[in-house]
Structure 1
Amino acid sequence: MLSNAFKALACPLDGGTLTQAEGVWRCTAGHSFDIAKQGYVNLLPVQNKRSNDPGDSKAMVAARQRFLNAGHYQPVAEAVRHAALKGASENERLSCLDAGCGEGYYLRQLASTTPQTPLALMGLDISKWAVMAAAKQSRQQGRPQQEQSRQQDATWVVGSNANLPVQSATLDRLLCMFGFPVMSEFARVLKPGGLLLQVEAGSNHLRELREIIYPTLKPERNAEPAVPEGFSLQATDTVCYSLTLNDKESIADLLAMTPHLYRASAEGRERAAALKTLIVSVDVRVIKWIKNA
């Protein structure tokens, strides 16, 4: 993969341009942010935190990492890669942010299957555990490769979608994978004509698991998404397939990586824990928004 360093970071305190030197990101006003030994930077000011440890827990991140690395959502990653790169000319440099990157699976998949397109990648999540895991996996994958592969790493950032530490109108692509979209911020950081890929669960997503852990299922809303200000709807694609999980560990990881673990009753969680195999539907919508000129 051809790659460029991500250079569009902004100071979370004053919005000024951040530059990197000697293990520190610094703005012209003198605010500085150290790069942690794991390879990420924390750009989430304490005043913007709603709790001491926001976002996914360490256990939730570990479950998602095991489940995704097993390839269960590979078709989703392929659909995102295809949508993100469709129409890009060969050797066109693309600056891409994964807003709510988790442990970095989808961004790594995009990078590893993109031999011709230079990418400047950034992964951001409000969970320090998620960003730490993403940075660690990125470094581990680079060790056996040539030294130049270290330049292929994404920039991993602890931050919030509500106040993206990114300069305005600098992104070509933005991914929001099962996350919490803040459309006003997404519109601010995307270039005119830039592409936002919003990936969300469809009406049948994990239905079989939900039928086990909940007494009844809520009626599904099938309305088309409202067009957010500053965007136009380009297309909506679906990714649907059946997934077979043949061990209790994989079923437990699937439940643990979703909000359903905390929404289900104790009885529902016990029913899921008793399963030895599960055939479950994956139903995902990939919504493509274009930033208006």
Structure 2
Amino acid sequence: MNSTPFQALACPLDGEPLHLAGSAWRCAAGHSFDVAKQGYVNLLPVQQKRSTDPGDSKPMVAARQRFLEAGYYQPIAQAVSKHLLSHAEVRSASSFGCLDAGCGEGYYLRELSRAALNSRPLSLVGLDISKWAVLAAAKQDDKKMPHCSWVVGSNAHLPVQTATLDSVLCMFGFPVHHEFARVLKPGGLLVQVEAGAGHLRELREVIYPTLKPDATSERKVPEGFVQLQTESLSYQIALEGQDSIGDLLAMTPHLYRASQEGRARAAALDALTLTVDARLMIYERS
């Protein structure tokens, strides 16, 4: 499968286009950002950080990587890839630019590239605020996979030039719709996946004394977009062994929200059958 390097990065300090010169990205004002030896670039300036080490920790990233590579969320990745590749076929550009905003360790972009055997060339960029996530993603690149640009950055201030992308993914993340609208071309696609009401309910029943009532409010279409489709993905998975259950808990916010007693109950389990309930929303940039 053909791929093209993503070239439309923007300086996080002044918004000007960045150009790759040797092993650094530079803008016309002279701001320079070195490419790490693992192949990623850090475009998260200190003034955009809320902590010294924002985003998922190194153990959380490792747990998510083990869990996702075991294939538990592969039906979600396949559904996302199907929508994106169908959209790529009708776009007029020579290559199809796609940003995963909150890419984690890169699972969904790798699955997209594996599915794109006969598509037009892809130009992929994965961005996450966690340096540990981006480092893990960059380390998994190999010669059999298309080149992907990996960036440490924030969804609130995407270091991407305006109207340069054909698609944006936001997978169980923190959407910033005005930024997504800015970087998408007219007619570009936003694929957003979030947890449904029943997602991981069996785990939540173990770690929490009571569950909050399911929210039923109707979702508004983000400004600058029109809604094309909403799809529900629901199925069950069976986790065997304390390691798999521990990885699932460690990769979710439930690890910190649960009490010590709730975490202990989860750690004592040897097997757990779970509901995966995801809501996939497709928006078009108007």
Specify the alignment match of 1:44 in structure 2. 44
For 1:169, the aligned partner's letter is A
Q: Distance in 1 between matches of 2:88 and 2:22?
A: 34
**Within the alignment, does 1:218 sit opposite 2:218 as a pair?**
no
TM-superposed deviation, 1:224: 3.0
TM-superposed deviation, 1:6: 0.3
TM-superposed deviation, 1:289: 0.8
Name the CA shift for 1:48/1:87 in 2 (closer, same or farther; >3 Å).
closer
**Residue correspondence of structure 1 range 56-95 to structure 2 within 5 A:** 56-89=56-89, 93-95=95-97
Q: Distance in 1 between matches of 2:162 and 2:202?
A: 42
For 1:282, the aligned partner's letter is V
**Residue correspondence of structure 1 range 114-125 to structure 2 within 5 A:** 114-117=116-119, 118-125=121-128
Specify the alignment match of 1:170 in structure 2. 164
TM-superposed deviation, 1:225: 1.5
| Aligned match for 1:264, one of 258, 265, 279 | 258
Specify the alignment match of 1:14 in structure 2. 14
Q: Tell me if structure 2 keeps the 8 A contact 1:99–1:125.
A: yes
| Aligned match for 1:249, one of 240, 243, 248 | 243
**Residue correspondence of structure 1 range 125-204 to structure 2 within 5 A:** 125-138=128-141, 141-142=142-143, 145=144, 152-204=146-198
Instruction: Identify unmatched segments of 5+ residues in structure 1.
Output: none
Q: Distance in 1 between matches of 2:199 and 2:257?
A: 16
Q: TM-score, normalised on structure 2?
A: 0.97
Specify the alignment match of 1:290 in structure 2. 284
Specify the alignment match of 1:274 in structure 2. 268
TM-superposed deviation, 1:228: 1.1
Q: Tell me if structure 2 keeps the 8 A contact 1:203–1:222.
A: no
Q: TM-score, normalised on structure 1?
A: 0.94
TM-superposed deviation, 1:84: 1.1
Identity %: 65
Q: Distance in 2 between matches of 1:241 and 1:218?
A: 22
Q: Tell me if structure 2 keeps the 8 A contact 1:9–1:17.
A: yes
Q: RMSD of aligned C-alpha atoms?
A: 1.2
Q: Tell me if structure 2 keeps the 8 A contact 1:172–1:191.
A: yes
Specify the alignment match of 1:109 in structure 2. 111
Count of equivalent residues: 283
Q: Distance in 2 between matches of 1:263 and 1:49?
A: 23
Q: Distance in 2 between matches of 1:50 and 1:88?
A: 36
Deviation sequence 1:89-145 (CA, Å, 0-9, x none): 28952100000000000011101110122100000000000000000011xx32xx4
